[in-house]
A = this chain, B = another copy of it.
Amino acid sequence: MWKPTDVSNLPSPFVHEIRVTWGDCDPARIAYTGRLPVFALDAINAWWEAHLDGDGWFQLELDRNVGTPFVNLAMDFRSPVTPRHRLMCHVWPQRLGEKSITFRVDGYQDEVLCFEGTFICVFTVADVFKSQPAPPDIRAVVTPLIRP
């Protein structure tokens, strides 16, 4: 018998809230396109902070000697972002390769999807800027959170 995909055991995504302001907006009175990737990056950094005991990119790099530079990003802009509502960024890891991690970030305002994007990072040994496999402790944290 056919059964729908059971999503009940999938982890719910992390949500990062952003206060969009006047200074984020351009003369069209919506957030400037150049701010939207920055919002998504802020959300990914917040995801790391939430899942690595408060460590974001800054602590990863300086305290753990792990870099996660971006090699690709792609975003679709669905609806303008404005200061009228908080921007709720849903973040989750979509895929964990041997040396890379792919994040998905969907941004909502007032329950309307404003943008959706994928972001691919590679793991590096930070102080020598050399590619490395995902460190085991990070792999252990990320693996159960993956939602393809």
Q: Please state if B27 and A25 are interface contacts (CB–CB under 8 Å).
A: yes
Given pairs A28-B67, A72-B74, 10 additional interface contacts (CB within 8 A): A22-B27, A22-B56, A23-B26, A25-B26, A27-B62, A30-B69, A33-B37, A72-B75, A72-B77, A73-B75
Q: Please state if A22 and B83 are interface contacts (CB–CB under 8 Å).
A: no
Q: Please state if B70 and A33 are interface contacts (CB–CB under 8 Å).
A: yes
Q: Please state if B126 and A69 are interface contacts (CB–CB under 8 Å).
A: no
Given A28-B61, A58-B83, decide whether A76 and B67 contact each other with a Cβ distance below 8 A. no
Q: For chain A, what secondary structure do more than half of its interface residues adopt (helix, strand, loop), or is it mixed?
A: mixed
Residues of chain A at the chain B interface (Cβ within 8 Å): 19, 21-23, 25-30, 32-34, 37-38, 41-42, 45-46, 56-59, 61-62, 67, 69-77, 80, 82-84, 126, 129
| Complex A-B, nearest 10 residue pairs according to Cβ-Cβ distance, in ascending order | A22-B57, A74-B74, A58-B83, A34-B38, A27-B29, A33-B70, A37-B37, A22-B58, A23-B32, A25-B27
